[in-house]
Structure 1
């Protein structure tokens, strides 16, 4: 069965499976309706048998029970039919899921194969070489842009460092030659009530 299913296109198998499942569901509903009708008829025969028993009509009561047995046999038969249909539905749903899984895996494998075919190892190596070459070119451009040009390129680094050392020495020497700051002498505090006496003015000589 799987061979026939897998040999058909995905769309056909899916539509056929759905149509079959719908048909099986319709059959199940029909069988359930018949089963309910037979159960009602069997129950009705039981009630008739009770009535005939009350009337002491044993023969008629037995006939009712016989018909009840026939109805029950048909109900049992319909139950077996329903079980077969349920089993068929389960198998069909499983086959449908298997088919869809296989189709998905097959599509994925085909896509991967197409991608590998479109991107082979030579293309990858070529792309990586181009990237490395562009990176090296950009590095050289950045180095060229950062190199000093014009008058700044003629400056001697050693001379600049010597000039810097002279500036540092002159700054240190200037700091050493500055006079030391002296703090002012503390003022004398005279206690209150002991102000020094002013000298008496000198008398003029005759």
Structure 2
């Protein structure tokens, strides 16, 4: 409404200017001055309308800010009330009791796992020292077998290279041991 009124007043001010020009051409100075006075009154009203619009926009911004503040405070109150209700529902003694029950159940599970992992029957009769001695014998036999195998590659022929131009020796690729192959396959299988 204020914007429409402002447009009307702008048209009226423009019309007064035109009238003043017409009176000036007709040498009617008094009528031209009256037109300019009305134009200034219209301009003052236009300025007042501009101030009113500015105040209204300012008020709208303040109301939007107040609404956002109110919503924020309401959300904080709701959160505080929910936290308070949760604290009433969960007592520290209840938490301690629950933690004690969890620890007790964990201890029971460990005892069950230990009982299940204890060898029984024929497996319980094996002597660990005898098994370790047998393993050492197997390792020793395997080492002897590796030492007795003839070398299958011939030594490389020597090549004379002038001083200062020694070629870089390639580092032989290490062949993975069978145990390493098994370990890598097991790790890949567990990764799936």
- Gaps (5+ residues) in structure 1? 1-29
TM-aligned CA distance change 1:49 to 1:156, over 3 Å: closer
CA deviation string 1:9-57 (max 9, x = no partner): xxxxxxxxxxxxxxxxxxxxx1111111101110110011001110112
Cα distance, 1:172 vs structure 2: 12
Give distance in 1, aligned partners of 2:30 and 2:124: 133
CA deviation string 1:151-198 (max 9, x = no partner): 433455566667888999999999999999999999999999999999
Cα distance, 1:68 vs structure 2: 0.9
Check if 1:153 corresponds to 2:146: no
Cα distance, 1:134 vs structure 2: 1.3
CA deviation string 1:64-98 (max 9, x = no partner): 11211221121122122122212222221221111
Question: Which stretch shifts more, 155-164 or 49-58?
Answer: 155-164
Give distance in 2, aligned partners of 1:99 and 1:197: 78
Q: TM-score, normalised by structure 1?
A: 0.60
**DSSP-derived class of the 2:169 partner:** coil
Q: TM-score, normalised by structure 2?
A: 0.64
Q: Could you tell me which of 112, 117, 125 is aligned with 2:96?
A: 125
TM-aligned CA distance change 1:80 to 1:167, over 3 Å: closer
**DSSP-derived class of the 2:164 partner:** coil
Question: Which stretch shifts more, 79-88 or 132-141?
Answer: 79-88
Q: Which contiguous aligned blocks of 4+ residues in structure 1 show a shift greater than 2 angstroms?
A: 150-203
Highest RCO, 1 vs 2 (Cα 8 Å, sep ≥ 6): 1
